Amino acid sequence: MAPSRFFREACFIGGEWLPAGADFIKVDNPATGRTVGRVPKLGRNEAHTAIDAASGAFPAWRAATADERGAYCHAFHDALMDNQAALAELLTIEMGKPLAEAKAEIAYGAAFFKWFAEEARRVYGDIIPAPSANKRIIVTKEPVGVVGAITPWNFPNAMIARKAAAALASGCAIVCKPASQTPFSALAFGVIAEEIGLPKGVLNIITGSAEAIADAFCQHPALRKITFTGSTETGKLLAAKAMAGMKRVSMELGGNAPFIVFDDADLDAAIEGAIASKFRNAGQTCVCANRIYVQSGVYESFAEKMSDRMRALKVGDGLDAGVDQGPLIDEAALRKVEAHIEDATQNGAQLVTGGRRHDKGGTFFEPTLLRDVTSAMAIASEETFGPVAPLFRFDTEQEAIAMANDTEYGLAAYFYTENLARAWRVMEALEYGMVAVNEGIISTPAAPFGGVKQSGFGREGSKYGLDDYLNIKYGLIGGLGK
């Protein structure tokens, strides 16, 4: 590609660019294996410098009015949308997802800036009836301070946008550490910050050693909150460390989403929902359908229609027109997919379609449909994070709910039914942070995104999304007379 002005092989600290030196991280395009570029491999000291820069910018930023901060967030939104095509191309080149999905991700990320620009005006307090007549109890909300954000590779723009927009709108300064496999979409936020004239130090982007940067986040006294999106395994390590520094934490972690199709479902709608939920980002999203439960009465027809639909999916470089599924992020991802398929087939599952590395080579994999999958197989309990749709069979509603809840995760769940009473019953019975009925795509800035159980805690987006970035302050005014 002709490098756009958003492509920077440098970190953004205190409004200055720090180029990659002798110590760097190489970033490859998963579709071609070609090197996209290199970014600095920073450590603890540079992370401290970034936190200091954010800390220096924080007092003036928190003192700005909600309208002033909102205007910067609106400018962020507009800059993202005005440059949607260039930013999407950069995203596809470093991450692999089809260009149409990358464009949708830029729009999704931008929408959080717009949403929180408006929410910033509604950070209301309270006056609480006091126990005596000469006192007043006042509750106000204040920004937590400097926030450290750590994000994964599967949504290189949107996972930063969800956090940065909420932090900026609420009056916090932020230091972001993107995934090492996809840093360029994150660094593009630095370019935009510069272009819209965001005060220096309010937003900082650093790349480098995850552990060293996380240690700095956990130990630096000026850093008050850590917001993490990534695997449950890493989230647990980070949360334990963050507790040693008594930092506030939000954890958006892994999922193992059930997708239930009842006999009374609109089957065509369920197929389209399953395709959208399962194959977006080649199955590499935390809310991807990981286990598809189909009731006995429609099992055969669902399997047949699903396999027809999957055979039509076009696999290829995300930059090529009409591609539905790009490569997987790396060889390790490919091996996990293969291991899940092998375990399932050795234990009695049938391969309906796909099942092998794609002829295109590299990390491309065939869209794969498995049937007769059971709870004893690894795919039932682990996040596959790849293009494998496993079909489980069930007979009763109670059985489906029990199977769906039989996991340590609790992020997103989906089910299809045309029965209103069942819709309410099942929605309430599913132990998940988010439940979609008759829909395969669940995320929107207007709704609270987040999980329960081992999928973490905290909510991003919606009217609740600023809460994680605000402290509650109680003020007592006494001596007001009798």
Cβ neighbours, 10 Å, residue 296: 11
Cβ-based nearer residue to ligand NAP, 70 or 156: 156
Residue 40 C-beta: closest distance to ligand NAP, Å:
12
Cβ-based nearer residue to ligand NAP, 277 or 353: 277
- For the chain, give the secondary structure using H, E and C: CCCCCCCCCEEEECCEEEECCCCEEEEECCCCCCEEEEEECECHHHHHHHHHHHHHHHHHHHHCCHHHHHHHHHHHHHHHHHCHHHHHHHHHHHHCCCHHHHHHHHHHHHHHHHHHHHHHHHCCCEEECCCCCCCEEEEEEEECCEEEEECCCCCCCHHHHHHHHHHHHHCCEEEEECCCCCCHHHHHHHHHHHHCCCCCCCEEECCECHHHHHHHHHHCCCEEEEEEECCHHHHHHHHHHHHHCCCEEEEECCCCEEEEECCCCCHHHHHHHHHHHHHHHHHCCCCCEEEEEEEHHHHHHHHHHHHHHHHCCCECCCCCCCCCECCCCCHHHHHHHHHHHHHHHHCCCEEEECCCECCCCCCCECCEEEEEECCCCHHHHCCCCCCEEEEEEECCHHHHHHHHHCCCCCCEEEEECCCHHHHHHHHHHCCCCEEEECCCCCCCCCCCECCCHHHEECCECCCCCCHHHEEEEEEEECCCCC
Cβ-based nearer residue to ligand NAP, 205 or 303: 205
Residue 229 C-beta: closest distance to ligand NAP, Å:
5
Cβ-based nearer residue to ligand NAP, 123 or 159: 159
Selecting among 11, 172, 218, 286, the annotated active-site residue is: 286
Residue nearest to ligand NAP (CB): 230
Cβ-based nearer residue to ligand NAP, 281 or 368: 281
CB 10 within 8 A of CB 187: yes
Residue 461 C-beta: closest distance to ligand NAP, Å:
10
Selecting among 46, 252, 383, 397, the annotated active-site residue is: 252
Residue 289 C-beta: closest distance to ligand NAP, Å:
13
Residue 24 C-beta: closest distance to ligand NAP, Å:
13
Question: Residue 140's closest CA among 123, 157, 117, 153?
Answer: 123
Residue 218 C-beta: closest distance to ligand NAP, Å:
9
| 40: exposed, middle or buried (Cβ count in 10 Å: 0-12, 13-18, 19+) | buried
* 230 HSE (CA, 13 A, CB side): 21
Residue 258 C-beta: closest distance to ligand NAP, Å:
15
Question: Residue 391's closest CA among 408, 370, 411, 376?
Answer: 370
252 is catalytic: yes
Residue 160 C-beta: closest distance to ligand NAP, Å:
10
CB 357 within 8 A of CB 335: no
Cβ-based nearer residue to ligand NAP, 151 or 185: 151
11 is catalytic: no
Residue 168 C-beta: closest distance to ligand NAP, Å:
19
Cβ-based nearer residue to ligand NAP, 141 or 177: 177
Cβ-based nearer residue to ligand NAP, 171 or 433: 433
Given the rule CB under 6 A, which residues bind ligand NAP? 150-155, 159, 177, 179-181, 210-211, 214, 229-231, 234, 237-238, 252-255, 286, 383, 411, 451
Instruction: Indicate which residues carry an active-site annotation.
Output: 252, 286
